[in-house]
DNA sequence: CAGAATTGTGAAAACTACCTCATATTACGG
DNA sequence: CCGTAATATGAGGTAGTTTTCACAATTCTG
């Protein structure tokens, strides 16, 4: 017997008012998640923070984790759009491109690395898979960027280079403090990567 | 009215059997924490994984978080012993020392950085403070190592250098795949750090 | 502006996890 | 070996969270 995916009983937001409510809830979820962690991010607290009743959350989301799924989608889309925009400029040097991408990423990343760290700890397989997919997508972008600048590269193995670029960057940015953030963070990261990739 | 700290009602392990049980429980806690995250690390699951009943957990631990506290203490001690051992060798070059520390860390760190990250998200203030203390301790070791080799260093700001060494290393190792692990990982990390710190 | 569709509410049912405790089993000392 | 202390058990009480649902309020449509 083929398992049929249960039809979602939640409504589709049709009026502008409802769409606002959905966004307010997702924003509230992000904020509560950062402040309280997953364990403290209860539906009631999210609703309270959003200024709506618990029931409204369940008007648009199947369950609690669906709210976080929506949040993840939003974040992924933001990252993807950043890196898609990066493909346009021709004749741009590798390090210039990396600096630009990192700068935009740091600036745009709406809730910063804190949210990202918390999202990785949401205990839902589907969500974790989405995060992994996003990482793969990101790796593809970086790899093709490195490929177009292969001539400048010191490192031979593009897979290793991609691995280093992504994980050194995220390693620095996810642990960024309030002191070490913004431009200094980007410059430090660029310096680290440049000395490894080129020269 | 001064708040008196409640006397612990848990027993002290007196027989060898009991000490084994305690260790089995702490190990199980680490494994479940890595697999399921804090939210999924229920007392029953930990007990099941340990092959004991829930009651046994409460024979030796005041509450759930006390298990994680013990785990944190064990991990901190492991890290401290690794890095203390690193202070002994004189006339060792900076990169040689870093390579050795990374190698031992990768080999010895019983549950790897995954556990470390999960422990950071345990929602208990006392525990979080302990994790922060451990980080500070680690940063201290790295910083003093860098300081003794200041002459070799290209980077001026030791705080920035320490930040980079710690977070680039953990960034690479936390995302290490099965292909990219062990010696290749260590060598890549060393290469990345050497080009940043020296030359 | 009436009636329908959509959106919003919050008390309470259903569920889950932590922790207790009365009891059983195992190990130790004399 | 027997009594006592130590260790182990697991069903169930309690507290807190998720989810539902009957109903209220708002917005849209003709």
User: Residue A124: what pLDDT?
Assistant: 82
Domain count along chain B:
2
User: Residue B9: what pLDDT?
Assistant: 63
* Residue pLDDT, tens place only, A3-43: 333 456 687 877 889 999 999 999 999 999 999 888 889 99
Q: Are A138 and A76 in the same domain?
A: yes
Q: Are A89 and A44 in the same domain?
A: no
Cβ contact A53 with chain C strand, < 7 A:
yes
- The CA distance from B135 to B111, in Å, is 17
The structure tokens listed for A117 are: 């760290």
Q: List CB contacts of B78: < 8 A, sequence separation 6 or more.
A: B108, B109, B110
Residue A92 lies in a domain: yes
Cβ contact A58 with chain C strand, < 7 A:
yes
Q: Are B158 and B78 in the same domain?
A: yes
Q: Are B27 and B83 in the same domain?
A: no
* Residue pLDDT, tens place only, A126-176: 888 888 888 888 899 999 999 999 999 999 999 999 999 999 999 998 888
- What CATH number does the domain containing A129 carry? 1.10.357.10
Mean pLDDT of chain B: 87
Which of A118, A120, A171 lies closest to B171 in CB terms?
A171
Q: Are A108 and A173 in the same domain?
A: yes
Q: pLDDT-derived band of residue B3, with 50, 70 and 90 as boundaries?
A: very low
Residue B67 lies in a domain: no
Nucleotide at minimal C1' distance from the A60 CA: C7
User: Residue B87: what pLDDT?
Assistant: 64
Q: Which of A27-31, A108-112, B174-178 has the lowest mean pLDDT?
A: A108-112
Residue B2 lies in a domain: no
Q: Are B79 and B160 in the same domain?
A: yes
Q: Are A28 and A54 in the same domain?
A: yes
Q: Are A121 and A176 in the same domain?
A: yes
Residue A124 lies in a domain: yes
Residue A23 lies in a domain: yes
B61: nearest Cα among B88, B26, B105, B20? B26
Residue A26 lies in a domain: yes
Q: Are B78 and B176 in the same domain?
A: yes
- Listed by range, residues with Cβ under 7 angstroms from strand D are A 9, 15-17, 41-44, 54-55, 57-58, 63-64; B 11-15, 17-18, 20-21, 52-56, 58-59
3-state secondary structure B10-29: CCCCCCHHHHHHHHHHHHHH
A49: nearest Cα among A62, A66, A75, A67? A67
Q: List CB contacts of A155: < 8 A, sequence separation 6 or more.
A: A161, A164, A196, A197
**Which percentage of chain B shows pLDDT scores above 90?**
53
Q: Are B40 and B79 in the same domain?
A: no
Q: Do A180 and B163 touch (CB under 8 A)?
A: yes
Q: Are B96 and B125 in the same domain?
A: yes
CA B61, B67, B71, B76 torsion-angle sign: negative
Which of B38, B117, B192 lies closest to A39 in CB terms?
B38
- What CATH number does the domain containing B50 carry? 1.10.10.60
Domain range for A72 is: 68-197
Q: Are B84 and B112 in the same domain?
A: yes
User: Residue A88: what pLDDT?
Assistant: 64
Q: Which nucleotides of C are covered by protein (CB under 7 A)?
A: 6-12, 16-22, 26-28
Final residue of a structural domain among A39, A62, A85: A62
Using an 8 Å Cβ cutoff, are A171 and B168 in contact? yes
Q: How far is the CA of B131 from the C1' of D13 (A)?
A: 34
Q: Do B37 and A171 touch (CB under 8 A)?
A: no
């Amino acid at each position: 017997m083929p398992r049929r995916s249960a039809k979602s009983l939640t409504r589709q937001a049709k009026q502008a008012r409802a769409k606002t409510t959905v966004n307010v809830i997702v924003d509230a979820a992000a904020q509560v998640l950062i402040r309280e962690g997953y364990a403290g991010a209860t539906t009631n607290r999210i609703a309270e923070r959003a200024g709506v009743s618990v029931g409204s959350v369940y008007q648009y989301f199947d369950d609690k984790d669906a709210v976080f799924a929506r949040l993840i989608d939003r974040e992924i889309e933001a990252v993807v759009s950043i890196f898609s925009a990066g493909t346009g400029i021709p004749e741009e040097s590798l390090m210039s491109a990396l600096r630009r991408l990192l700068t935009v990423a740091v600036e745009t990343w709406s809730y910063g690395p804190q949210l990202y760290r918390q999202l990785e700890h949401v205990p839902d397989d589907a969500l974790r898979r989405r995060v992994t997919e996003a990482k793969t997508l990101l790796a593809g972008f970086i790899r093709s960027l490195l490929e177009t600048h292969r001539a400048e590269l010191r490192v031979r193995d593009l897979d290793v280079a991609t691995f280093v670029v992504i994980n050194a960057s995220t390693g620095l940015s996810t642990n960024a403090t309030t002191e070490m953030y913004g431009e200094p963070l980007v410059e430090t990261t660029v310096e680290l990567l440049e000395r490894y990739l080129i020269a």
